[in-house]
Structure 1
Amino acid sequence: MTRALTALATRVMPLAFVAMAMVSVSQFWIQHGPKQSTIAAFYDRSIDTMQQHAWVVLALTGLFWAVAIAGWLHEKNRPPLRIENGGLLMDILDRLTNRQVLENKIAEEPQAIVIDSDKLANALKSKVIGQDAVCEDMAQQIRRRLALKQRGKPVGIFMLAGPPGTGKSYLAKCLATELQKKLFHFDMTQFSSGAYAASQLFGAAKGYVGSDTYGKLTAALRDTPDAVILLDEFEKAHSEVHKNFLTAWNDGFVTEASDGKQISSTEAIFVLTTNAATDALQALSETYANDVDELRRSSINALHEAGFAPEVLNRIDRVFVFKPLSGLDIARVTALEIEVMIKGYDLDIAEGGIDPDILFDMMKRQQRLGMGASSRDLLRAVEESIADTLISAKQKGYKTVKLVARDGVVKAEAAQ
């Protein structure tokens, strides 16, 4: 359409210029030319007619100029034409493919994202108690990797190692929440039974049961390529499952067995957790508390000795070692668990509404359990101590409560 208008303007433009020239000549003739000849009189009448319609001529001239300029701008923004064998050729992509579709695909490629690592670290530390160093390091790693525009592998492959119940899985969930990404949680203990385990995650080949549907992992990455993938207790998965992940981490895609399609993993964040080598890792975290690099190196060696294949460990970007809960961290976790449980009964906790004696008793109880104690033990202790009194408070119609310790028993009272 634009080209047609431009061509029309090009043809009519000379006529418009002729008309303008005639108007100018007429002005000169009227002022300076002779008045006596019949030809001159006829010409005068013609010029008068032109003058009466001068604005129409000017308007048409302006319109054609506007169309011509618009066409020129349109042509200027088009890809340059190549000259070959004396003739003009269109862009090779226009000739041989759908250039617009190609440009759309390029636009869909992963874009560089810059996040505030301090803000992310603070958000994680406020939820995952006692693991400040891990949260800060994790935030820095995520920031660096998201800022890369071109990636041939996932955003990150992180292993969280350490005692059970110290917040490893919870950190992955908090990370997904803070980054506003969907979380897919896979309990790897469910994928420990031979080759069938791999087909559950990556699909079954044609002719086998389940080959008409995608695997759980490939379907997740197909539908949500930028998800956080939590692989809980990764060491308990079958070795065939481990092998299937190597391509995802090294080459940036996983292959769906049912149709052979390659599913990109370059936008995903993989978080592995393990309870392997807990004692060794705990000793190492104390020995190298001030030497982060040596802690990571020695931790990888400990995990190798615990049964992790070298090819798996070599593809992990970072190993984060979690510390057991101790000191006031136990009190912090306990207070948070109490708050969550109170809200679970549709009640509110008053500010300062937890008796310090309750938290102190919980700390003592946890310490008696020794190094094997976890946040799950705290959760059970909290439930045993306050569940019944919260139910009673709810039945009495309380809205906001405070917890007090009376004769070794926790009571929920109405807050004033």
Structure 2
Amino acid sequence: PETAEPKGSKTESTKTKAAKMEAAATHEPVAATDSTADLARLRELMAELAEAQGETPLILPSVDRNAVAAVVQDWTGIPTGRMLSSQTEKALKLAATLSERVVGQDHAMEMIARRVQTSRAGLGAPEKPVGVFLLCGPSGVGKTETALALAETLYGGEQNLISINMSEFQEAHTVSTLKGAPPGYVGYGKGGILTEAVRRKPYAVILLDEVEKAHPDVHEIFFQVFDKGMMDDSEGRRIDFKNTLILLTSNVGSQVIMDRTKNGTLRTGMDDLDTALRGPLLKVFPAAFLGRVVTIPYYPLSDAMIEAITRHQFDKIARRLKATNDAELVIGDGVMDMVKARCTEIESGGRMIDAILTNTLLPELSRGVLNRSLEGKKMTKVIVGASSTGFTYSFE
């Protein structure tokens, strides 16, 4: 016959198991096991589990504010960074933060920052968007980069940028593409590309690129957005734009700006430039439209600005090379001068830098990296130099 287990022993065993389970749940392996061997094995398993889960475990041991914020972000589209970080501090440092990324346009960053600070302080018109800006100037001087930087800084990432190429809306009937097709027409029920995007991402930067190319009827549908912060889509739903920051870009007045700047600096007063820009802008946009936006001129880039942008681009490449190949990128003498010498078209601005690096340097550098990988050779450093025939590469 089986020997009956003492009543006290069973109670003690149950309590011990419960204590061990509680200790394991609270990550206290010392209390959860009795023997040294079991303790070592438990710690080894916990280390393997932590490595497998990484920074985003499937099951959280506890629900903290970050977990709650992540769930709310998935439900509402409100960026986690907006809920968790100090928006006051971000607003106060916004101009300096943007200037680190957008080179040579400090005056523009300051104008945008002032409007955002007014909104953050609760002193702006609550029924309007955070800000509506018309960025005028030559191509490649940082207008699109400004939108990307604002999305990253204010809304938690570049994925919260809604970009629309307005050159696709040169006909009056294309208004329906933005708001959605009316009842009875093909596409009804699918939503407009603008209204649907904002409905899904109410906290975002909206970039309306090359807005001067859109039909005047398209310009007019934005009056209600600029004034009341809303737009009705084709299904009668009211889309809220109050938490968006709207940027419109245009090349209108580029020659006026270039005539009044030298080496990236304004040679005349800002008032004189604003007056000179008014004429070209009125030929494209009605006065009612211009009265609803803040016009910001963007200056052409100087050689020093081009060099700063080039260094910024090389820093990006260096980070990618470090992340993918654990190798250091060294830029030798003469490389910057070669890039500046090839940027001969002032109208292209920073886009010329990107074209040089993307079409010339990166393919040649990539070929060398792949050859080293194929040969099984360890690579710790890549040195980029310059010669009379082009870029040179040395792998160590």
SS for the counterpart of 2:334 is helix
Max Rg structure: 1
Asked if the contact 2:229–2:242 (Cα under 8 Å) also holds between the matched residues in 1, the reply is: yes
Q: Pick from 298, 306, 314 the counterpart of residue 276 of structure 2.
A: 298
Name the aligned partner's letter for residue 140 of structure 1.
R
Where in structure 1 are there 5+ consecutive unaligned residues?
1-110
Look up the match of 2:237.
Answer: 261
Asked if the contact 2:180–2:191 (Cα under 8 Å) also holds between the matched residues in 1, the reply is: yes
CA drift at 1:241:
1.3
Aligned length: 298
Residues 384, 265 of structure 1: alpha-carbon distance in 2 compared, 3 angstrom cutoff: closer
Q: Pick from 133, 136, 144 the counterpart of residue 110 of structure 2.
A: 136
Look up the match of 1:166.
Answer: 141
Residues 314, 115 of structure 1: alpha-carbon distance in 2 compared, 3 angstrom cutoff: farther
Q: Does residue 157 in structure 1 map to residue 132 in structure 2? A: yes
Look up the match of 2:19.
Answer: none
Residues 406, 283 of structure 1: alpha-carbon distance in 2 compared, 3 angstrom cutoff: closer
CA drift at 1:290:
5.8
SS for the counterpart of 1:328 is helix
Q: Matches of 1:348 and 1:167 in 2, distance apart?
A: 31
Look up the match of 1:183.
Answer: 161
Q: Matches of 2:203 and 2:311 in 1, distance apart?
A: 34
Q: Pick from 275, 285, 291 the counterpart of residue 251 of structure 2.
A: 275
Look up the match of 1:217.
Answer: 194
Q: Does residue 248 in structure 1 map to residue 229 in structure 2? A: no
Q: Matches of 1:124 and 1:280 in 2, distance apart?
A: 25
Asked if the contact 1:390–1:412 (Cα under 8 Å) also holds between the matched residues in 2, the reply is: no
CA drift at 1:178:
0.4
Look up the match of 1:239.
Answer: 216
Name the aligned partner's letter for residue 230 of structure 2.
F
Asked if the contact 1:362–1:381 (Cα under 8 Å) also holds between the matched residues in 2, the reply is: yes
Look up the match of 1:96.
Answer: none
Asked if the contact 1:161–1:320 (Cα under 8 Å) also holds between the matched residues in 2, the reply is: yes
Residues 115, 245 of structure 1: alpha-carbon distance in 2 compared, 3 angstrom cutoff: farther
Residues 348, 275 of structure 1: alpha-carbon distance in 2 compared, 3 angstrom cutoff: farther
CA drift at 1:113:
6.0
SS for the counterpart of 1:396 is helix
Q: For residues 151-203 of structure 1, give each alpha carbon's deviation from its aligned partner in whole angstroms, at most 9, with x where no partner exists.
A: 121110011110001110111111110012521111111222331x1111111
Q: Matches of 1:159 and 1:349 in 2, distance apart?
A: 42
In the TM superposition, 1:16-165 aligns within 5 A as 114-148=88-122, 151-165=126-140
Q: Matches of 1:297 and 1:224 in 2, distance apart?
A: 37
CA drift at 1:260:
1.9
Look up the match of 1:411.
Answer: 392
Aligned-residue identity in percent: 27
Q: Matches of 2:139 and 2:258 in 1, distance apart?
A: 12
Q: For residues 314-372 of structure 1, give each alpha carbon's deviation from its aligned partner in whole angstroms, at most 9, with x where no partner exists.
A: 110x2111111112111111222234345556456747x21230111221222x33x32
Where in structure 2 are there 5+ consecutive unaligned residues?
1-82, 374-378
Asked if the contact 1:153–1:252 (Cα under 8 Å) also holds between the matched residues in 2, the reply is: yes
TM-score by length of 1: 0.65
Q: Matches of 1:359 and 1:199 in 2, distance apart?
A: 48
Alignment RMSD: 2.6
Asked if the contact 1:230–1:270 (Cα under 8 Å) also holds between the matched residues in 2, the reply is: yes
CA drift at 1:390:
3.4
